[in-house]
Each structure stands twice: as structure tokens, then as C-alpha cells.
Structure 1
Amino acid sequence: MITNEFWLDRWLNGRIGFHQEGVNAWLVEYWPSLPKGSHVLVPLCGKSNDMIWLAEQGYQVTGIELSPLAVVQFLGDNDLPYETQQVGDLKIHTVIGLPLRIVEGDYFLFDEKDFDACYDRAAMIAIPEEIRADYVAHTKARLSPNATLLLVSTRHGGGEEGPPFSVEDDSIVTMWGDAIQKVASEDLVQANPQYKERGYAFFEESVWHILPQQS
């Protein structure tokens, strides 16, 4: 069973193979041009440097992360000065000099709304199937009606069950709605021998968009 304690333990023991040191290539290639100052939500953000990249583009970035250790490492590794405010069960760490804040706590307790965009690289695929639809519904409730989404999903077989979990394309469309479109995909077994060594017959990583409707 994947619980909050499972993820806290993964961070405590350094079992964070999902973390990427650099900026994600899909993000750089497929993030759409949005007005400066747009509010971007990054669920289950870990200590991803993708947030710094987004903030440097001029967006107001809010990452949500359960693990206090991940938050401390992100702020410390990047030498970011910050101020902390307790709001209910959540801690809000606001970075000084960069339009970025990290909300520390359970994502399902985060209830701010009207974000202009969401970036999900490794959040939905970290959520077990039994609550995945709840995660998507909670995320959609945080977004404005005409918000942008950049989602990276995985679909795999023959190896470890996950996380990251394998999510079928039709399930993604069912949860996110007909507006979502796949824009790119790659079988990582072909590109990286480690996936084959871990027993995967295929490990497809896909990029999905929901773009604002043109008025």
C-alpha cells in the first residue's frame, strides 16, 4: 500500500530514483508560452529544479511537497533564502528574490484555486490506481477553467509494478477529459539499457497537453 509514510520513508532513506538533477527536457521543449506572472501549480514537486526553470521564465510557481526533507534539500541545495508561514496543517516557504514558494504538507489538504497552469512530471504516476482519479479531480479543482496542463505519464510492462505506475492512455483521457492531447512519446527501453536490465519489455514515457481554448 502506497501511503504518506511510504514516501516519507523513501526520502529518509534516499530511495529517490524519480528525482532528476537537471531540468526535464520535455518541460523545456513542450512548455507553452504563457503570460508573465501566470500562476503555475507543481503537485508532488520533490526537490525538482524544474520549478526554478519555471520561475526564471517569469511565472509565479507553487510546488506542493509532503516530505520536509525534500523541501529542506531543495532550498538548501539551491541556496535559496526564504520565509516560512504556518497555515493550518501546511507550511508555506516563500523564496526571497524568486517568484517561487514550496507548500510543505499533504497535497489533498491544499485548497487554493484558480491556477493558470499545472506541471505534472512525476505526480499522477506516483499515485496508486485506487486514488488516482481523486488526485486528478483535486488537481482540476485547483485550476482555472481555461488552464494549461503539461503532464508526463508512463506506460510500461514486464518489469516493476511501480511507482512510477503504468497508466493507460484511455485512463488519462477518462480522468482529464477530451481536451487532453498526447504530443510526444518515447520508449525508454530503446534509449536507456537500464530499463531493459530492470526487466521492462517496454517503458513508454509520454507528454500530454491541455492548452487554453482560443477565444
Structure 2
Amino acid sequence: MSAKEVETDLDAGVLHNSEWVKRWEVGDIAFHQSRYDSLFDSQGEALFPGGAKSVFVPLCGKTPDMIWMYNQGHSVVGVELSEQAVQELFSENKLEARVQHVEGVGPLYTSTDGRLQVYVGDLFDLTKDQLSEFDRVWDSRSLVAINVVDQERYRNLLLSLLKKGGEYYLKTLDYDPTVWPGPPHNISRQRVNELYGEHCNIEILEETNRTGLNPNTPRVPHSDVNPPTDPSGDVVPQAKPSSAGAALKMSSYLYDRWYKLLLK
């Protein structure tokens, strides 16, 4: 996701809003997960103790995470660029929606009981005054989709939406950034600390090693790991991967991490 004034530059890992909308239109949505996140299975009760919570979900698409939280009785508000994704979220889950227009943002889809709301528009067009504050921010690979130049702006907005004593859950990808410019963007532990360390206490809730690399093994840049050579011994230039999925398979390391952030 980008500020509206930038242009798509895939080689630099920059996407304009229209490119995200197009991906939904043509079905290029490998980033969409058809099942809710497994963290709900292992830690669902610990994430939402003490009854119903209000939850904000940035760049939500049609994630089943929202439906899981909604079905548990929580009030969930999301924002998504693609109206198609929002329509599918409601229709695929057999939820009737009321639609109204929000000036300066776009359509707002609301379930008949009012507990599920999704704005169609740019996240940065929304304000704290419009959204209020939330008990939880649920950022499941949303930060990784934000253009790098907008990450601080994104952080500031989401932290402003968190109630005092609220909890921010952040899921990231950490991989060799030389294999792919993003999105999804590489978000290392160091980058999480750079973005949030001044403002939040940070705890790693879950770390999944997708490549089997020992976490204590020094990370070697992918380009230095057994580079292919021709018969003369010269290194053969590697073909540019055609997709994020192909690139991540080339990475010498790949971690999924869930963080819990608490405002200081």
C-alpha cells in the first residue's frame, strides 16, 4: 500500500494503491490466507481475556481473522483498498451489509448488528476522530505491505488508535531482502525495534522458522550461497524471480514472527 501520489515501481518494491486493487480484480492474491491465523488456536483466550474487545484491522482484505474475532463476540473494524475484497468478505460469510458513504474516504460496509465494519479506501485517509480508539490492533502482515517510506507514518497512525492499556499484535516476515524488494517487505527484529522500540515494550509471542536454518547460524546473503557457475567456472547471473512466493523460496532464511506491543 502506498500514498496516493507515488507511482508503482516493482523493481524498487513500491506499489500504488491502484495496483493493489488490480490484484484483487485479476485474482493475483497469493497473499490471502483462506484460514484464520493459527495464533488463535494456540493463544486465542490469552489474546482476548475478559470479554468482548474492540479490534482494528488495517489492510484487511477478506481475512478470516476478522470473522474469527467477530464470531467470538468482538467488534471489528477494518480498512481495505479493494471494494471487491470487502464485498467478498461479507458474501462468503453470509453476512448482510449496510453500505454508506464516508466523506473523504469511501464506502463503509457494516453488518446489521454493527459489530463488523470495513472502510473501503486508503488507510491514511482515516483519522483517530473517525475511528476512535481500540482495545486491540491486529496487524497480520499489514506492515509488510506498506511502502517503506510510509512505515513511520503507518506506525504513528496505528499507535494513535490504541487505547491506554491496549495491545498491538504484529505479524512480520523476515527474509533475505536481496532476493526481493517487496512487498511483502522484509521486517527484521531490528526493524521492529527501530519502528516501535521507543514507543512500546516488545515481546515475541511466536517465531516460525520456515527454512529450517538454525536461528543461531550467521545469515549468509543468498547471492553467496553456492552460486551457480558455467563450465568455465564463472558465476551465472541468477534469473530474477517472477513473484514474491518464488523469491521467498530462494531466501537463505525465512521467519514468521508474531509480536505483542504494549505502549510505554
Q: TM-score, normalised by structure 2?
A: 0.74
Q: Structure 1 pair 73/155, CA: closer, same or farther in 2 (3 Å)? A: same
Structure 1, unaligned stretches of length 5 or more? none
Equivalent residue number for residue 56 of structure 1? 71
Find the structure with the greater CA-based Rg. 2
Identify which of 195, 198, 202 aligns with 1:180.
202
Amino acid aligned to 2:69: L
Cα distance in 2 for residues equivalent to 1:110 and 1:35: 29
Amino acid aligned to 2:189: D
CA RMSD of the aligned region, Å? 2.2
The answer to whether the 8 A contact 1:80-1:95 is kept is yes
Identify which of 175, 186, 190 aligns with 1:166.
186
Higher strand share: 1
Q: TM-score, normalised by structure 1?
A: 0.89
Q: Percent identity?
A: 25
Equivalent residue number for residue 28 of structure 1? 41
Which range moved further: 122-131 or 167-176?
A: 167-176
Cα distance in 1 for residues equivalent to 2:138 and 2:42: 13
Structure 1 residues 27-176: aligned runs within 5 Å: 27-31=40-44, 32-88=47-103, 89-97=105-113, 99-111=115-127, 112-157=131-176, 159-176=179-196
SS class of match (1:179): strand
Displaced runs of 4 or more, over 4 A: 194-197
Equivalent residue number for residue 210 of structure 1? 261
SS class of match (2:135): strand
Equivalent residue number for residue 4 of structure 1? 17
SS class of match (1:170): helix
Deviations, residues 150-179 of structure 1 (Å, cap 9, x unaligned): 111111015333211101212212222341
The answer to whether the aligner puts 1:201 opposite 2:252 as a matched pair is: yes
Deviations, residues 74-128 of structure 1 (Å, cap 9, x unaligned): 1111121011111212321111247211111111111122111110112101012
The answer to whether the 8 A contact 1:115-1:144 is kept is yes
What is the Cα deviation at residue 187 of structure 1? 1.7
